[in-house]
Amino acid sequence: MKIALGGDHAGYEYKSEIISILESNEAEIKDFGPFNTDSCDYPDFVHPVANAVESGSFDLGIIICGSGNGVVMTVNKHQGIRCALAWEAEIAVLARSHNDANIVSIPARYVSLEQVKEIVEAFITTSFEGGRHQRRVDKIRC
């Protein structure tokens, strides 16, 4: 599995833990930044994640910022992206299984490290159920 990562300075602290989880699941990872805690503009780091997933170069994306909102709004501007904001594992499971989410947004300032681990594990190990959900997913694009 190939997974793209990005976010902002508020999410930087959790990124190394996310990378460890992904490596333990034998994922191929591309970190688009940021690479420190200096204040930055998240679109510079999450548009590349969306492009990588939308093009099919990567299977999934994980983005992380303070609230998770700015990054999710940014990547969802891409027609081929279905990004969900997940603050607990069950949201990540439902986003993947019912909505075929291909990127998850994590709100770093509102979740613990343990929750981050649970969200990432849930997101990368859950499959889309298809069936009745496919009809709805097909109606998302404008």
Domains of the chain: 2-137 (3.40.1400.10)
Mean pLDDT within 122-139:
93
Cα–Cα distance, 119 to 93 (Å, whole number): 8
The model carries a pTM of 0.96
Residue 123: both structure tokens together: 């997101």
pLDDT in tens, 1-28: 999 999 999 999 999 999 999 999 999 9
Active site residues: 65, 98
Residue 119: both structure tokens together: 């969200």
Question: What's the distance, Cα to Cα, between the start and end of the chain in Å?
Answer: 28
Quote the strand ranges of the chain, DSSP E: 2-7, 28-31, 60-65, 83-85, 103-107
pLDDT in tens, 20-58: 999 999 999 999 999 999 999 999 999 999 999 999 999
